[in-house]
Structure 1
């Protein structure tokens, strides 16, 4: 087994290949989630942010695990469940690259990495905010509604600026968005992005006012909904639901068989969970934060 540090888009694709190979309703990552997490803000494709680190573990040329320290105090990881030994390697690496006194890692409940986290002194925090994978079989997809005064369409390749603007407006409640034109151009260039699965609602003036991005993993037929949003002044009309369903109908047309979305599962931010369950999404596995203190 060998470890290598992240060196650019080829390594992201290798991580996505692992996520695709391992995908199930209870696995941590979908390839589209990794693409969004990498490019939701302008980045150097070949480099990482200050305090960020990524490493991949391979065996016989196949990736069997990766660790993504998004900051000194936060670890994301995925490990082939047939290789629990890799989880211990990832956690040891995280300790090498982190100088934080308190460290946290996010995994799925029951993940193969839990044993290694416990052995390293991490403890589960089940009451911390968590995410729940929700699944919808596309044969049960409800019809996409119409909303008077709006129409729904997919994004065109030249519309990165407008598409970034509607995302930023939709998420303005959480502070200034890092998604700008350059970032969205990088999103559009990333695998497995498809323009025909990136949908928007536009008003009578043609302005984008709501959006839903779906990422299709063709190997699994699984589409991830990430992210969805609606500009504040257009909320309360059902646009988020309608634009998401429009995108999901396109997903079914191009070979998708199941859709996944992962909203917060706790009661701290219940709105998205209610939205998706009303569409027919049903909860499956949840995440758990594990934390240790090194002081």
Structure 2
């Protein structure tokens, strides 16, 4: 059957993208379905519509999505192609070139992905020494116990707590700039598949205020639980709270049938803290991203 391209039109299309990522998941696959849910719903004010400087396009064979391109801006492309349909990679790159008017364009893919030869042929060149993400995996049979942290209570988030849950995320990530994760955005996250409140854990101080958090996204069809994101309020760091909420959420995911956990921290030396945290819990690196860039001048 021929491939058919269509532009993103809302939740049904995101579901098709997630289904492809679930079907094609491997330790070296770019996206877990939970990552797409977080990326789409935690930031976009109108997630069912693409933004002014954004474009998303999908390629289908019959009813199945077999590839997609997500241009988060005119100079930045995220993409994934089902390995069973490698020819779609060229269509995605051509689509991005037609849509973007940026003089310098970058695309992020996994190292060794079948998309890389297509990018090279289109004039992109890799930067293997710069910023990148590293997929880490953990066999949940080897999951450490949840530590007790004096003075804090660990618990899952409850429905109706989107506002305080968004607030703890914003404070934890404020050092990277103003966060767009509002209470309304987090409410969207909580309605998205495969979010579950019993896999969204927080640490609360004695007065009940949330001070650390971790979300785990479980794809039950493949038994893989993605950790994304984790954060701790600066004044409460150094006590092991980020590790504690992560482990608590992962223990619950194991109870629900997960056998593997995945997390994708930075792999370069500019921001090593999260990588060290996850490796201290037993996560081990298995694959990494590479940014490919070309000049259109």
Alignment deviations for residues 18-66 of structure 1 (CA, whole Å, 9 cap, x no partner) = 0000111110000000000001124213211111000000112221100
Could you list the runs of 4 or more consecutive aligned residues of structure 1 that deviate by over 4 angstroms after TM superposition? none
Matches within 5 A, 1:60-71: 60-71=62-73
Structure 1 contact 42–186 (Cα < 8 Å) conserved:
no
Aligned counterpart in structure 2 of residue 34 of structure 1, from 25, 33, 36: 36
Stretch of structure 1 that moved more, 168-177 or 271-280: 168-177
Rounded to whole Å, the distance in 1 between the matches of 2:63 and 2:252 is 36
Rounded to whole Å, the distance in 1 between the matches of 2:142 and 2:77 is 36
Rounded to whole Å, the distance in 1 between the matches of 2:40 and 2:99 is 19
What TM-score, normalized to structure 2?
0.98
Following superposition, the deviation at residue 80 of structure 1 comes to 1.0
Aligned equivalent of 1:74: 76
What TM-score, normalized to structure 1?
0.99
Aligned equivalent of 2:240: 238
Structure 1 contact 42–183 (Cα < 8 Å) conserved:
yes
Aligned equivalent of 1:291: 293
Aligned equivalent of 1:229: 231
Alignment deviations for residues 257-292 of structure 1 (CA, whole Å, 9 cap, x no partner) = 100000000111000000000000000000000000
Equivalent residue of 2:87, what SS? Answer: helix
Equivalent residue of 2:50, what SS? Answer: coil
Structure 2 residue 194 is the aligned partner of structure 1 residue 192 = yes
Following superposition, the deviation at residue 70 of structure 1 comes to 0.3
Aligned equivalent of 2:176: 174
Matches within 5 A, 1:106-125: 106-125=108-127
Rounded to whole Å, the distance in 1 between the matches of 2:229 and 2:277 is 13
Rounded to whole Å, the distance in 1 between the matches of 2:47 and 2:274 is 31
Q: How many residues align?
A: 295
Rounded to whole Å, the distance in 2 between the matches of 1:151 and 1:33 is 27
Aligned equivalent of 1:85: 87
Rounded to whole Å, the distance in 1 between the matches of 2:95 and 2:130 is 25
RMSD over aligned Cα, in angstroms? 0.7
- Structure 2: gaps spanning 5 or more residues: none
Aligned equivalent of 1:56: 58
